[in-house]
Amino acid sequence: MEITKHLLMNLSLLLVLLFFTQLIMERQVKEESRQRLQIVYFIISIFTCYIFSVQVQDGVRFDLRQVPMILGSLYAGHSFLFAGITILMRSLLGFDDGFWISFFIFIVLAFLFKWMHPWFNRLAINQRVGVSILLTVMTSFVLMEMVGVISQPIRHPEAWLSFILIPALTTGLISYSIETIRQTLIIRQRLAKADKIEAVSHLSAAISHEIRNPLTTVKGFLQLLKEQDYPAEKKKEFIHIAVQELNRAEEVINDYLTFARPAFEKVEEIDIEKELNQVLNVLHPMANLNGVAVRKKFTSGLVIFGDPSKFQQAFINLIKNGLEAMPDGGELTVHTFRTGSVVHILVRDTGIGMTEEQIVRLGEPYYTTKGQQGTGLGMMVTFSIIRAMKGKAEIKSEVGKGSTFHIRFNHFEH
């Protein structure tokens, strides 16, 4: 049972190594990085097998070295690399009969797998797993026979059974795992691509709708001006409305460009208190109109780095939403403070609040809680600017009690 125990230990170690390799590979974006990790896995596996090998007789040691050599050559290519490492590791144990058996067999396998690699990758998944198992069984059998020819035959039934079945089982498990990992990556890439295409489609449709409406209005008024003779006062009204609609279309386009390209033209020190006071001054008439009391609780000396105009744009959108959520009056609180190297900005209102579903969807392209009165672009742009300034936004809300937006910026500097 000693041989079986050591081979099963090899199997377990190879699977554990594969598990950790998979965890690292999932974090890799580039295909080249994943391929390099796969090669490293097979090299470490060959090394591990030799460390935990078991001596059967003089000059003959059993382990699962052929498994990573075969799978590495078939899946990753570089058959001569894996064969060379396998032979090199065996040479550390001495230049005896076992070494020359390994040298001859693995050199032959390197040439064979070099030729097989392109053909192997064209096979179906089940076929690749089956071919890997078959080649492992054949290699194990040839190794056993070569030992008998060059050295002395191995008569122990356990040795034959273990050395044929356990490598085949190991190859099957690892090959199937590799195929599963590959398919998972492919599915994730397809889903990511489909999500991007769907998002672009929704965004394009929504932008087209938002721009088409004011353009249709402008077109209608121009046709009216052309077809009939209206009084000068009426013409001025038509032109005024047309200009308003064109301004609205321009605003939609500007918001979209801000979302699509949030990079800042200039980065400078932003005095949080100064900029927020400017934002509140701009929105002061709207607060008075809605009967909203504005409370300020600022910590002096807080600065971050970014584009001041973009910062103002983000918080105008945010605070304006809070004011619009209180059509019958209420209280809006803007609070700033610092903890460690993090600047906090809280914007709290006592308005209508939001449901969990609305909070989750807030910031999606053209999702709005204002019905026909909003486009959803404001919050989308706000979140885009906050992310570009390395900030994070957390939202808490309760229907009928109001909402709190908690913005954190992680690059506080004195």
DSSP codes, 9-53: HHHHHHHHHHHHHHHHHTT--SHHHHHHHHHHHHHHHHHHHHHT-
pLDDT of 58 higher than 80:
no
Among 80, 125, 124, 126, residue whose Cα is nearest residue 106: 80
Candidate from 268-272, 276-280, 362-366 with smallest mean pLDDT:
362-366
Report pLDDT digits (tens) over 73-93. Answer: 998 888 899 889 888 888 877
Residue 373 is predicted with a pLDDT of: 47
Averaged over 54-82, what is the pLDDT?
82
Mean pLDDT across the chain, nearest whole number? 81
On whether the 268-409 domain is CATH 3.90.1150.10, my answer is no
Task: Convert the pLDDT of each residue in 360-383 to its tens digit.
Answer: 877 665 555 554 444 556 777 788
Task: Kindly indicate the confidence band of residue 414, based on its pLDDT and cuts at 50, 70 and 90.
Answer: very low
Mean pLDDT lowest among 150-154, 182-186, 294-298, 358-362: 150-154
Q: Are 128 and 120 in contact (CB under 8 A)?
A: yes
Most confident residue range from 156-165, 235-244, 301-310: 301-310
Instruction: Look at residue 348 in the predicted model and tell me its pLDDT.
Output: 94
Architecture of domain 200-260: Orthogonal Bundle (1.10)
Q: Binning pLDDT at 50, 70 and 90, where does residue 410 land?
A: confident
- How many Å separate Cα 225 from the centre of its chain? 54
Facing residues of 186 across strands? none
The pLDDT of residue 133 is 92
Q: Which residue has the higher pLDDT, 175 or 370?
A: 175
pLDDT at position 298 is 93
What fold does the segment set 2-193 form as a domain?
Arp2/3 complex 21 kDa subunit ARPC3 (1.10.1760)
Instruction: Calculate mean pLDDT across residues 229-244.
Output: 81
As a whole number, mean pLDDT of residues 105-116 equals 90
pLDDT: is 309 or 107 the higher one? Answer: 107
Check pLDDT > 80 for residue 286.
yes
Do β-strands 303-306 and 54-57 pair in parallel, antiparallel, or remain unpaired? unpaired
Predicted confidence (pLDDT) at residue 412 exceeds the cutoff of 60: no
Tell me what pLDDT residue 17 has. 87
Any idea where the domains of the chain sit in the sequence?
A: 2-193, 200-260, 268-409
> What is the model's pLDDT at position 188?
80
Q: Which long-range contacts (CB under 8 A, 24 or more apart) does 150-153 make?
A: 150/97, 150/100, 150/101, 151/57, 151/58, 151/59, 151/60, 151/97, 151/98, 151/101, 152/57
Residue 215: per-residue pLDDT: 83
| Three-state SS at 345 | strand
Mean pLDDT, residues 304-318 taken together? 86
Question: Does the model's pTM come out above 0.85?
Answer: no
Of residues 238 and 339, more confidence is placed in 339
